[in-house]
């Protein structure tokens, strides 16, 4: 764990991106499974991510209402560094044999769950799977190489479904527990997450309040006796309160009007979605209407020709009604010589449980081919 902590030192804010994408993955899994098993949502229909900060104590909690983990899944997923995105990162780190890790290298890989230890002394993961009656808590400290798992028994800490991460920040990193800091990082890294992310923010509104004052003597007109009159004074005060605030934009970029999306936004979306660290050479955003309806953004990666021969890459992400369906096409759906093109396709015409056969017969595929050709012909 030490190695991760030190080699990533300069880029430690990525922890938030990693943990938020895990939360988003967990929500995606739940949403996907609930299509065939609506009962999975019975403990709460909301699919969201909520981040609360306690700046006085340096604590961040990240809660998702996603698929959660059973006890066994906790052991399998978080128990060993070997099964995490972190492992892939470390492997590459070794292979690259570079003493200094540059941030481009980091950008290529999800550093995964263990990035939580970049900023935390201690991490607790409290999680409830719909498959399990119990909620379990996994806990580990940055200094140690072991973890504990116990059942959650405190009724106040029970969640209906999903996962709550509690990060106990290191002394020097407590600044991450400022609500504005978290909000800024989320806007930077996680604006394309397709579930709402709420942060706990302090708000204020102004109101007039009465101030008690001694009854003032007021001289009245005419020759009557001077009367004592209570004149009420008011002043404006700011009433503070805390509430959840929506922090990201949940409308996927491909549903927006092309002319309202900047090149930077297209490039950021590309890099985040495909784990790329270089901007694409070109991109194309198009929508079709009428017989076959879909929206798509295609990209030409800035990769060397040699790397293009690797065809087992997951280059096209298919969504149906904004739900991620599959990226595992392996050249079956699109001509192999175009397999270097990356992108997303979203259709409203296909059933969520679309099969490979349906997809192959669908006009979407032939229609997309056409766009692929035009797009590539245009680029080269």
Task: Tell me which of Mg ion, ligand ADP, none is bound by residue 130, counting a contact when its beta carbon lies within the kind-specific cut-off of 5 to 8 angstroms.
Answer: none
Q: Please count the residues of this chain forming the interface with ligand ADP, following the rule CB under 6 A.
A: 18
Q: Does 115 bind Mg ion (CB under 5 A)?
A: no
**Number of Cβ atoms within 10 Å of the Cβ of 246:** 11
Q: 3-class DSSP state for residue 359?
A: helix
Which is closer to Mg ion, CB of 63 or CB of 367?
Answer: 63
Nearer to ligand ADP, 110 or 301 (CB): 110
List the one residue from 66, 85, 179, 343 that touches Mg ion (CB under 5 A).
Answer: 85
| Residue 280 makes contact with Mg ion by CB under 5 A | no
Nearest Cα neighbor of 183 from 244, 122, 110 is 244
Work out how close the CB of 112 gets to ligand ADP at its nearest, in angstroms, rounded to a whole number: 3
Confirm or reject binding of residue 47 to ligand ADP (CB under 6 A).
no
Beta carbon of residue 369, minimum distance to ligand ADP (angstroms, whole number): 32
Q: How far apart are CA 297 and CA 350, in angstroms?
A: 18
Beta carbons of 183 and 201 less than 8 angstroms apart: yes
Binding mask 10-49 for Mg ion (x = CB under 5 A): ------------x---------------------------
Q: Which residues pair with 218 in a beta bridge?
A: 227
Burial label for 70, CB within 10 Å (0-12, 13-18, 19+), is middle
Q: Decide: is 280 part of the binding site for ligand ADP (CB under 6 A).
A: no
Q: Is 95 exposed, middle or buried (0-12, 13-18, 19+ CB in 10 A)?
A: exposed
DSSP-derived 3-state class of residue 37: coil
According to CB under 6 A, which one of 17, 47, 93, 112 is a site residue for ligand ADP?
Answer: 112
**Closest distance of CB 131 from ligand ADP, Å:** 12
Comparing CB distances to Mg ion, the nearer of 22 and 53 is 22
Find the shortest distance in angstroms from Cβ 61 to Mg ion. Answer: 18
Sequence-ordered strand ranges (E) for the chain:
49-54, 59-64, 120-128, 135-141, 147-151, 162-169, 197-211, 216-218, 227-229, 233-246, 282-288, 294-300, 316-320, 323-326, 342-347
* Residues 305 and 357: beta-carbon distance below 8 Å: no
Binding segment toward ligand ADP, per CB under 6 A, in 61-69, 194-202, 223-231, 317-325: 61-69
List interacting residues with Mg ion (CB under 5 A).
22, 85, 110, 112
Residues that bind ligand ADP (CB under 6 A): 18, 22-23, 26, 64, 66-69, 77-78, 84-86, 110, 112-113, 163
């Amino acid at each position: 764990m030490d190695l991760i902590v030190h080699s990533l030192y300069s880029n430690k804010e990525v922890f938030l991106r990693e943990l938020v994408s895990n939360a988003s993955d967990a929500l995606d899994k739940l949403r996907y499974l609930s299509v065939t098993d609506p009962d999975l949502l019975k403990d709460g229909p909301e699919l969201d991510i909520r981040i609360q900060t306690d700046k006085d104590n340096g604590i961040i909690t990240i809660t998702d209402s996603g698929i959660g983990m059973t006890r066994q899944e906790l052991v399998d997923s978080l128990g060993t560094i070997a099964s995490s995105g972190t492992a892939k990162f470390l492997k590459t780190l070794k292979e690259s044999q570079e003493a200094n890790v540059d941030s481009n290298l980091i950008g290529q890989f999800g550093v995964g769950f263990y990035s939580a230890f970049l900023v935390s002394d201690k991490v607790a993961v409290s999680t409830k799977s719909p498959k399990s009656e119990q909620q379990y808590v996994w806990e580990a400290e940055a200094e140690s190489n072991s973890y504990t798992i116990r059942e959650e028994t405190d009724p106040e800490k029970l969640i209906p479904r999903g996962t709550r991460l509690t990060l106990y920040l290191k002394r020097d990193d407590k600044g991450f527990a400022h609500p504005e800091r978290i909000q800024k990082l989320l806007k930077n890294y996680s604006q394309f997450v397709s579930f709402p992310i709420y942060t706990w923010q302090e708000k204020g509104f102004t109101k007039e309040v009465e101030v008690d004052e001694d009854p003032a003597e007021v001289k009245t007109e005419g020759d009557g006796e001077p009367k004592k009159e209570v004149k009420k004074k008011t002043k404006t005060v700011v009433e503070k309160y805390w509430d959840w605030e929506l922090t990201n934009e949940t409308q996927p970029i491909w549903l927006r009007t092309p002319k309202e999306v900047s090149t930077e936004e297209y490039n950021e979306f590309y890099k985040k979605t495909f784990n790329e660290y270089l901007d694409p050479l070109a991109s194309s955003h198009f929508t079709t209407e009428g017989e076959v309806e879909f929206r798509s953004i295609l990209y030409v990666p800035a990769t060397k020709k040699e790397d293009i021969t690797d065809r087992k890459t997951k280059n096209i992400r298919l969504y149906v009604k904004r739900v991620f369906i599959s990226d595992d096409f392996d050249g079956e759906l699109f001509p192999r010589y175009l397999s270097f093109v990356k992108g997303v396709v979203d259709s409203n015409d296909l059933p969520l449980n679309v099969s490979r056969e349906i997809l192959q017969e669908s006009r979407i595929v032939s229609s997309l081919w056409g766009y692929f050709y035009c797009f590539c012909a245009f680029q080269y």
